[in-house]
Chains A and B, each alone.
Chain A
Amino acid sequence: MSTETLLGNEAIALGAVHAGLSGAFAYPGTPSTEIMEFLQETAAREAGTANAFVAQWCANEKTAYESALGASYAGRRAMASMKHVGLNVAADPFVNSALIRINGGFVVVVADDPGMHSSQDEQDSRWLADFARIICLEPSDQQEAYDMMRKAFDLSEKHEVPVMIRITTRLAHARAIVKTGPRTPQNPVRKADADMSWILMPAIARKRWRELIEKQKAFAAISDGPDANPLAMKSGKLGVITTGVALPYYRENLADLVASLGAEPSHLHIGMYPMPKEKLRKLAAGVERLLVIEDGYPFVERELRGILPFASPRILGKESGELPIDGELSPDNVRAALGLPEREGFAVKNLVPPSRPPSLCTGCPHTDSLVALKEVLRDYPLHSVNSDIGCYTLGALPPYSAVETCVDMGASIGMARGASEAGLRPTVAVIGDSTFYHSGITNLIDAVSHRTNMTVLILDNGTTGMTGAQPTILPSSGLGNLVRGVGIEPEHVVTLRAHKNEHAKNVEAIRRELAYEGPSVVIMVRECLEAVKKARKA
């Protein structure tokens, strides 16, 4: 046993390693990225030793999930980690994997981003765990994040289901002291039994689905048992339910609350789902008001509230306005929900500090690509520029104002294609190399198949920039061959250097491809400045 100061994501990674992890797979995405970064650093140190394990970036969250599933099939403990919207990409294997007989322990770590610090939405992954009908664990702090990884692998092997660890930004990106335990040896390779439980043909899937439904009783028994979801009944009229990181915010205010109420409220903390129904009923029976504090959507609250009105207890939370319905929890909004007076700081008296949005780095190759594209588009009063997820999304802001859409990974090419087919021309898709490998290539195949009149600008900086410059899954030298390989005509696959010194040449080449009536691809190449800096540091 030793103590270390760890970021929540590092605690999860170390917890997995100490639980006997053999294979970890991920695609970068804030706030989940540091899990794989920590695993890779550890794996590099342990390469060639008896503890060696695999930690790999993958093309996208679906491929990561499926690789982890294969490792579980081989009998070894495996995990996939991703941000919340990444689970949408992996939703197909995720939901189906609940029906197979998990062999080596399988854990999917999903980092939600309430408040959208670095995301397009603030969806709550607990709904997806519930949808797939699997166990979900939600740590409240870094220590629990570490401890729950071991618990998750154990539960997964015992009940032969995937287990989700759901965290939110403030757990992922906060550091605290963590006590670590002994390291469990890795499982040997032991292929899953040949009982057809990994073959989800309808007849078998129907049987497996029944078995999964039956397992719910066992899950519920653990949730309502002594080892999860502690309930403390007190004599007061107020009951409080916390989940995940709501617990430290509640504790932050507890002394003041007790002083104000004259007694401690009854309290249930939920760190494991499915929900502990018996404990919830017991708590509800003993209080008049029940405040639900949870980071993300009102998941517990909605379930408790239901549709039909009932008199007691009164359910308080996000839907009743005690807590904000959007954004993340803070010690302050939890304090207000507990009815405690606001603490006063200082105010700025004579000005309103303007917000400072993020922007592309000075000298970023994307700026040269966007400036060249803008110049060509001046000739076309009606045009469409669909973009994607990455640093270049910042090209939507002044002074560039160069891209018009950002929806999901890979959407730029599909949307540009649809816009073109609908008659809006010229249409341009602006996508980074990492996002192109993630989800762009399949849309390009559609464009080739239908000879869609459109131009794709692949901004190839050789890295996944926004998440801290992780290497792109394949070297950029392969992009041209890939694009030609799916059938873009070789004379309409143009590679340019994204640099202001090449501006005139780049403008001319982009103009030519926009004029071409068919699918064309322009690859704008120059290394990400952050990646260069990172390489220099290492």
Chain B
Amino acid sequence: MKYDIVFCGVGGQGGISVSVVIARAAMAAGLQVKQSEVHGMSQRGGEVLAHLRISDKPIASPTIPRGCANLILAFEPLEALRYLPWLSRDGAVVAATAPIRNIPTYPEIESVLAEIKALPKAVLLDADALAKEAGNARAANIVLVGAAAKYLPLKADAIETAIAENFARKGDAVVSANVKAFQNGRKANP
């Protein structure tokens, strides 16, 4: 078994931290992981990318080869398009619909979403609304993990535990909002 995930979004959306949460859940399940991320300049409102590779055998490259990603988890729809060359032929895209228009050349959002909808396996969702509904507007990244949960080679309970552990430091309210956000995501893509 091997499962490769591309996490992409814009600096500040919490893409890298989510990849760490899933990596922890995978390790807790006794699997091998390699995760690669970008730091520094690009975190200032630019494109942010993390790769996570999960396998039951040793993993060589820390980055995912093109055409090999089983899942693209996109916190912003235009960013999903950027990494389509990495998506495997039977891979899935789970993406938030809300655009971040911090560049003047941002394309028409309809045409961005149409590109995603044209893929064989794509899920688009209003992650912001589901996060607000869960009680924490900043948990959109966790909503997306929930929407992708059924594709991951991990038990949903195990991911939920890793999420709870990740936010434990911030108190019960933050934990329960993020767990709710995860569940909202799951319901959106049952």
Contact = CB atoms under 8 A, between A and B. Distances in A.
B63 A117 contact: no
A69 to B, nearest CB: 28
Interface in A130-176: 141, 170-171, 173-176
A353 B115 CA distance: 11
Interface centre among B40, B103, B111 (most CB of A within 10 A): B40
Contact of B42 (A33, A350, A358): A358
Contact of A177 (B33, B42, B85): B33
Main secondary structure of the interface of A (DSSP, over half): loop
Interface residues of A, number: 50
Given A176-B33, A245-B62, 6 more contacts: A5-B24, A174-B36, A177-B32, A177-B33, A354-B106, A357-B103
A117 B62 contact: no
Interface in B102-121: 102-107, 111-112, 114-115, 118-119
Nearest to A328: B63
Given A173-B38, A466-B41, A343 B66 contact: yes
A118 B60 contact: no
A267 to B, nearest CB: 14
Nearest to B65: A331
A452 B8 CA distance: 48
A345 B40 contact: no
A175 B41 contact: no
Contact of B39 (A5, A31, A345, A349): A31
B82 interface: yes
A41 interface: no
Contacts of A358: 11, 41-46
Interface in B3-36: 10-11, 20, 23-24, 27, 32-36
Nearest to A352: B107
Contact of B111 (A118, A350, A360, A466): A350
B66 A342 contact: yes
A345 B84 contact: yes
A255 to B, nearest CB: 10
Contacts of B27: 5, 177
Contacts of B41: 30, 117-118, 358, 466
Interface string A211-252: 000000000000000000000000000000000010011011
A257 interface: no
B44 A360 contact: yes
B115 A351 contact: yes
A349 B118 contact: yes
A380 interface: no
A312 B161 CA distance: 59
Interface of B: 10-11, 20, 23-24, 27, 32-47, 59-69, 78-79, 81-82, 84-89, 102-107, 111-112, 114-115, 118-119
B38 A347 contact: no
A18 interface: no
Given A345-B88, A350-B115, A354-B103, A332 B65 contact: yes
A359 interface: yes
Interface centre among B27, B45, B64, B88 (most CB of A within 10 A): B45
A117 B79 CA distance: 17
A347 B84 CA distance: 6
B163 to A, nearest CB: 17
Contacts of A170: 36, 62-63
A330 interface: yes
A332 B106 CA distance: 28
A351 B33 contact: no
Contacts of A355: 47, 103
A351 B107 contact: yes
